Structure 1
Amino acid sequence: MIDFDFHPLPGEQPAPADRLTTFRRLSELRTDAGHSSVTQRIDADLAYLRSLMGERPPLGEYIHATQGCSAAGWPEDYVSERGEIAREALAARGVAWNKNTAATLAEIDGPLDASAASDAIRHAAIAYEPSVREATGSHAPYDLTVESADVDAYWAYWLDGAGHRVRLRLNMRNANFTEVRARQMALHEILGHGLQSASIAARCATEDVPWVRLLSVHGPQQVLLEGWAQAMPLFITPDDEPLVASTRLVHYTHLVRSELHLALNSDTPIERCAEHARARVPWWTDSQIAGFLADRSTNPQLRTYMWAYAAGLDWFANLADAEPTVIENVLRQAYRAPLTPTDLEKLWPQGPSVGGPGGATSHANDARQDFAVEIQHACDNR
């Protein structure tokens, strides 16, 4: 999936080759790639193509090759702490932590008719744009198109584009339209992905940059893009209680998804994964949990791409507490180049490791052992 073209060329483009031909061409190109960022991107492409054609590498190897970070994960205590922060943020809004949490939030966030969603997102983007430009130093123009879609996929909102042209699609099958969600999407999709990509494209139009100018979601820039877009309320609207509470909740739930990501790819039984998910997030349905598990295990694209959400949001959520000079430098650099996790860690050496410090798989190992014991007992009794 091509997500953004930083340097669109005029005229008709050549038809894509088949996967194996593309794999061979990229393998040949890698020997002459030159700059390390180009080599890293080719390695990501090759790893992704291998998975598309049937290989299934270990998760850590696959994530490192594609997203450019570790898949170490986060300790259970850390995830629980972030859950408590989210719980307190919701409690301050009068929202209880139970199986009805999502429905209660949708009600108090101000239900919005689907026909009004596009205008609400546009108006919020106009209101926030000066603050985002001040924080990032961007002066790039962009032209926005908003379209409706009806797609059987996990996403509710998706932004792509080329050059200064950006397109936001609203997936009517999954979108949850509220006033708070409209403000969040104005930041995330339009002023995050849209303005950021247009800003990087503007630089590509005047400079011979040393990185690949065609973006894809299996590449090592997704940690930056998804991390920043999700964390924006902590930087741009820190006094907007509903938006900040939503961000705290999303941070926690993505960390829980990362636990499932690791557990399932470590051969933890589905029963244990589902049990863990329900204990962590009581309002998730069986259908949602089943989708999370399938996405992170059987889908070659989402097995890599979904990791970027937790890895990126956790890093940027921590960045929000850093020194102002560090924050300013990171955000301004982030609107000039598609930074990799290594680039981010160099900009903030005192920050956390992208992808977690480790210690996240103990519950998965315990679950496998417990399940094996149960099976053995069942066989003995039989």
Structure 2
Amino acid sequence: MTEPATSTSSLPSDSVSKLSLSPSAKMTTTNEITLSVVPDWSLLPVELLHIISKNLDDCFDALHARSVCTLWRSIFPFPSHLSRLSYSLPTLDNKGSWSLERIPLFLFRPRALAASEYFLGGIRRYEEPEEEEELPSPIQCSVKVKIPESDPKLMKMNDCQIFPLGHQYRMIGCNAKEYRNVVVLPLNQEGGGDFVVLLNFTKVLLVYRSTEMRWRRLHTQPFTTATCEELFTFRGKFYAIFISGDVFAFDPHFLGLTTLKPLELPNCGSCNDLVQSGDDELFLVEKIIPRNDDVLDFNRLALRVCRLDVEAGQWVVVTDIGDRVFIIGEFGSVSCSAKEFPEGCGVSGNSILYTHKPWNETYFYKYGVDTGREEDDLNCWWYSRENLVTILSTYPVVALRVERYVYFFYLQHIFFC
């Protein structure tokens, strides 16, 4: 969103003349009167509002505009990108129902905060009655934030850089401990109409077709008996990655299964993650753990990154992911561009960050870092100790701090009541 102007107001003169003044005025010691001008935004011409509505930078600009006054809410439609689409699906035993919801993901970076303040939380259009707070307009569109061992706070979103990160699906009401994640593919490439759902129940994959309205088990034997770690959709296919490191691709009709075997890693252990970048690229990030006398040496853990060559159906090793930053966590992975971050903020492109470590301090991985050990291969991604990353919270969202000056948090759930 464009920074608010600090120069003379550009409101039409006939509207400015109608702006209300604060009922109170302060008298200075030199008998000067200071008046606080409170604009009545509802007096702006409707024609001007329609022009503004067509020139907003992003969906959160529309939210900011809708929070100004009642009239503006009727002019600026609620952003469709922020709508939480919901489908009612039967439970596995057909005795109840679950709600399949499409949840938009964003990364928020507060522009300027005191060194001791860090924020995360869900965004709500309004609070529950018992939690309602009177907020001054136009900052009613705010983030309610909560970090463990701290009091909830409110942060204005127009003080943040906001980066859309796509969306995830969640099966609301499914509390089974076996449930891991769920993905959806429309059978109509234009969207709408029939769809297929793939549900990950750890050791079991289940398929739901909207045309059949019931669940079926997807058999992955004899290909693998391992636990499924994560599901993705990419270019009209389902992708499943297993704890064994195997990756499989399924077409939405499940007429064929394609094995995407990672490249060999001699004398090493590994565990893998998939990261999707936009609609065009799918990456495999492999944690490589060398063996020393048949014992895994976690002190020398490195990464290898491969890009999927869709036409050839194989992984291709890459040494550069451009200006992208991969953020990999317990509840999935995202890719974002580092170009919009300011210089010196501690976040730069061509880097990878894991947020679900057993400790709360970590670093970005960079390619070709000299570790000082002769036995380490420079053609890998290693810890870069340029910027310390402190993980402040991992659930229900991830909050982190980079060095002393820049703080951002990745919102995993966006709540619109």
Higher relative contact order (CA 8 A, sep 6+): 1
**TM-score normalised by structure 1 residue count:** 0.22
Greater Rg over alpha carbons, structure = 2
Higher share in strand: 2
